[in-house]
Amino acid sequence: MGTLREQIESALSETLEGPYGLPCPITYTDGAIQTKNASDATLDLMAQVIYETPEVNLDTGDTKLIPQTIITYRRTSLDKIPAPGDKIKISIPDRPTESADYITVMATPDNEPRHGRSIGIISFYVQNVVQSV
């Protein structure tokens, strides 16, 4: 077992990519699609998907659920780390089961990725996409 940091980072393989993870292929700004784990090409690229997010109303103190989907990857599983402001496409199941249909969501400059400087995760606050006219 390596350093404490390495141990913590490797634990992400269980928390993000283990039983709670879902296959989430990512398409980068150059059009390249990543479907496999960069650390282990035998594994699918997995992520934690949270479909709704609690938000506190600062004026009233009420908490409400908003349909804000958050997709969290392990950084070492990605081929490249998108920069803030990059537009990327992610395919996610529309329900938290692997047999569900896949939908397209995008990370845009409206909501930049977060936790990029944490020990090993990066979260994308994505938006559903409609067909452009």
Q: Answer yes or no whether residue 127 interacts with another protein by CB under 8 A.
A: yes
| Using rule CB under 8 A, residue 63 touches another protein | no
Q: Does 58 sit near another protein (CB under 8 A)?
A: no
What is the rounded distance in angstroms from the CA atom of residue 92 to the CA atom of residue 38? 18
98, 104, 118, 119: which one binds another protein (CB under 8 A): 104
d(CA 126, CA 24): 13
Dist CA 119 CA 74 (whole Å)? 9
Q: Does residue 94 bind another protein (CB under 8 A)?
A: no
C-beta separation of 90 from 71 below 8 A = yes
What is the closest distance, in whole angstroms, from the C-beta atom of residue 46 to another protein in the complex?
A: 20
75 near another protein, rule: CB under 8 A: no
In sequence order, the 6+-apart residues with CB closer than 8 A to the CB of 105 are 69, 71, 89, 90, 91, 92, 126, 127, 128, 129
Q: In the window 2-41, what residues touch another protein (CB under 8 A)?
A: 27, 29-33
Q: Which C-beta is closer to another protein: that of 12 or that of 70? A: 70
Is residue 61 at the binding interface for another protein, with CB under 8 A as the rule?
A: no
The side-by-side arrangement of strands in the sheet containing 26-27 is 33-34, 26-27, 88-93, 102-107
Q: Which residues bind another protein (CB under 8 A)?
A: 27, 29-33, 66-69, 87-89, 104-106, 108-111, 126-133
